[in-house]
A = this chain, B = another copy of it.
Amino acid sequence: MNQSARHLSENDMENDEPQKKSGRPRSEASKRAILEATRRLLTHTSVQKLSIEAIAKKAGVGKTTIYRWWPNKTSVVVDAIFSQPAFNNILPSPNSASDGIRAQIERLGRQLSGKNGRTVAEILGEAQAEPDALRIFIDTFLQDRYNTLSSLIEAGKRNGEFAVDLDTETAIDVILGPIFFRLISGQEMDDVVTHQMTQLLLKTLR
């Protein structure tokens, strides 16, 4: 992760020492049941109308168990949604920076379409009033796309594809912005729109 790519990030310290603790270990079954119940419920209701109580009931789990492992509803939803294979962001190594950016835009467009797209919009909506939730959304989902684009743009600048005086951060905003703008303003991102937008954006970078 290079410098310009980091400005969204905050918590750099990771606290992952395993440290065997005594006592009954966390139930993986419960965890899976909770995330699965959340996903199922989200096919019928919005994030805002989803309640912890409903998740607990559907998952056959005590409310306490949910509160023990997640700080709030948004965290549970983020966990449930973004752990799905459809949301991985491993892209094939591109022939050029432009190709890489095109691939990233298309991938993102597809991930943010349909029911999943609506749910991401709702998560982002929920996060507008809760800084913690916004942080989680950024760390779990956004940062990765940001970093990828950052690397590609830097590479493009280095190999002459893009203008050398291009401000990477601004460029990323210009690429991600329109996609999320369409998402939150309720305008779907079909393939035609994606293609048209990609053309325009790549022109911008040159």
Give the B-binding residues of A (Cβ under 8 A): 7-8, 46-49, 121-122, 124-129, 131, 134, 138, 142, 166-167, 170-171, 173-174, 176-182, 184-187, 193, 196-197, 200-201, 203-204
Knowing A122-B128, A125-B129, say if A176 contacts B181 (CB, 8 Å). Answer: yes
B173 touches A182 (CB 8 A): yes
Question: Hey, which chain B residues are within 8 Å of A138, CB to CB?
Answer: 185-186
| CA distance in complex: A167, B122 (Å) | 29
Question: Hey, which chain B residues are within 8 Å of A46, CB to CB?
Answer: 128-129
Question: Hey, which chain B residues are within 8 Å of A197, CB to CB?
Answer: 170, 173-174
A174 touches B186 (CB 8 A): no
A124 to B, closest residue via Cβ: B184
A184 touches B128 (CB 8 A): yes
A127 touches B129 (CB 8 A): no
Question: Hey, which chain B residues are within 8 Å of A196, CB to CB?
Answer: 167, 170
Question: Hey, which chain B residues are within 8 Å of A134, CB to CB?
Answer: 185-186
Knowing A171-B200, A177-B182, say if A49 contacts B125 (CB, 8 Å). Answer: no
- Smallest CB–CB gap between A139 and chain B, Å? 12
Question: Hey, which chain B residues are within 8 Å of A131, CB to CB?
Answer: 186
| CA distance in complex: A193, B171 (Å) | 11
